[in-house]
């Protein structure tokens, strides 16, 4: 059930179409909203549970506020934003690459989380942003998958990664 019609596409076309979807629950014949989801380009960017707000209208208002923000400032994957840092040739960048590979295939590329203790504030913030994005979107993030593939290709071609 669409609560609001799609907002006009942004600069990059379909990836920037933003919509707010309402999900209802029914109990004893009473239908009420229980969640609002903000999606951009088919990816869920925000989820607003009615139980987390004073009222369903407050949850809806929060979802609409995020949709409005995304209309003017479309979401960009941190795996795209921080690609150059992750691929750079220095120690902490290598640890960020290991983090990306651990998210991509944790069994094949385990990442030792204790290594983040040596990160400065900038690199720690990047690591957290990457983890949060992966938690939200997983392998549905095309920029994540492309970066992991690029790192993997570099590793198997003998390049320093």
Query: Which two three-digit tokens encode residue 57?
Result: 């209208």
Reported as a single tens digit per residue, the pLDDT across 90-148 is: 999 999 999 999 999 999 899 999 999 999 999 999 999 999 999 988 998 999 999 99
Give pTM, 2 decimals. Answer: 0.66
Q: CA distances (Å), 23 to each of 1, 20, 48, 50, 85, in order?
A: 7, 10, 10, 10, 39
């Amino acid at each position: 059930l669409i609560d609001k019609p799609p907002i006009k596409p942004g600069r990059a076309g379909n990836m920037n179409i933003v919509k707010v979807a309402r999900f209802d629950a029914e109990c004893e014949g009473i239908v009420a909203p229980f969640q609002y989801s903000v999606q951009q380009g088919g990816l869920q960017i925000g989820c607003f549970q009615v139980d987390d707000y004073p009222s369903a209208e407050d949850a809806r208002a929060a979802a609409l506020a995020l949709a409005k923000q995304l209309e003017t400032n479309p979401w960009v994957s941190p795996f795209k934003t921080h690609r150059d840092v992750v691929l750079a040739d220095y120690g902490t960048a290598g640890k960020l690459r290991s983090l990306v590979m651990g998210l991509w295939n944790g069994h094949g590329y385990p990442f030792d989380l204790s290594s983040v203790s040596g990160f400065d504030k900038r690199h720690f913030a990047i690591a957290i942003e990457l983890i949060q994005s992966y938690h939200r979107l997983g392998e549905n993030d095309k920029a994540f998958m492309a970066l992991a593939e690029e790192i993997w290709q570099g590793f198997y071609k003998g390049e320093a990664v």
